[in-house]
Amino acid sequence: MFIHKKELQYHAKPDKSDPLMARKMQEILGGQYGEISVAMQYMFQGWNTRGNGKYKDLILDTGAEEIGHVEMIATMIAQLLDDAPVDAQENAFESDPTIAAVMGGMDLQHAIVTGLGPTAKDSNGVPWSGSYITASGNLLADFRSNINAESQGRLQVARLYHMTNDAGVRDMLGFLLARDTMHQNQWIKAARELEAVEGIIVPSGVSEWEIQDINHILYNFSEGEDSKLFATGEAPDGGKFIYKDVPEVMGEKPVLKPAPPSLHNTVDMDAKK
């Protein structure tokens, strides 16, 4: 059960309208690493958690918070679109080059489709997709995905901070940066706790299925040996690293049988020689 409170978790009011910034903000709303993505990722991870009460509680606590962040950013976008000079769009290039420069970067769907409201899309108008989220049922794998999501999201928020001088926008972005710091920390701590129990390789318990003599080799597939540093000494899982400067060929040249004539594939010219 979810209960909506009318108050936002934090302030979301710009100092002035800015339709171009509204478009930019769409990325942290409906982009791959936006707030819709992390909200849905954490919700589905929580709903997919069987037992493990403390982890489920942490996941759903954070997912519920992220839904609030969706509303904060949506509210900010709506207010950035307040008083946007949409009527000047058609003749802007003729009447006022300054307006043309601003309106040239506006998301036209904000004016045409949503009536100066946010959309569940990224900054280029690509619709949000459920394929952005990860909810595997393996908590260590999921927590690592969460660390990545929060890292990418925080990176994008930091970049947006540099793209505006609006004190109100920066204030909200500063809040989001702080919450992303907390969320990275909590997922890292939870992942480390699971690593101490399960080991660092996901999934655990299947190592006997591996080809054991190649599971700690770094092959040099590029010029130079700069990567050799990462294949020296003991591996994080306790194994011993091996570095090979020449990749091994362990298979054979594939030979495929001809396709049926009904498929009209190209005839094997080599076979006719």
- Annotated binding residues for Ca(2+), written as ranges, equal 57, 61, 220, 222, 224
Residues annotated within the binding site for Mn(2+) are 35, 66, 69, 150, 183
Q: Which residue type, as a one-letter code, is found at position 185? A: N
Q: Which residue type, as a one-letter code, is found at position 196? A: A
Long-range contact list for 268-271, CB < 8 A, 24+ apart?
none
| CA angle (170 as vertex; 169, 174 as ends), nearest 5 | 125
Q: Which residues contact 86 (CB under 8 A, 6 or more apart)?
A: 103, 111, 116
What are the C-alpha distances in Å from 130 to residues 46, 121, 221? 16, 12, 35
Residue 253: CB atoms within 10 A of its CB come to: 5
Residues annotated within the binding site are 35, 57, 61, 66, 69, 150, 183, 220, 222, 224
For the chain, the first-to-last Cα distance in angstroms comes to 72
What residues are paired with 243 via a beta bridge? 218
Residues 50 and 44: their CA atoms lie apart, in Å, by 12
Cβ burial, residue 136 (10 Å; 0-12/13-18/19+): middle
Count of H-run helices and E-run strands, the chain = 10, 2
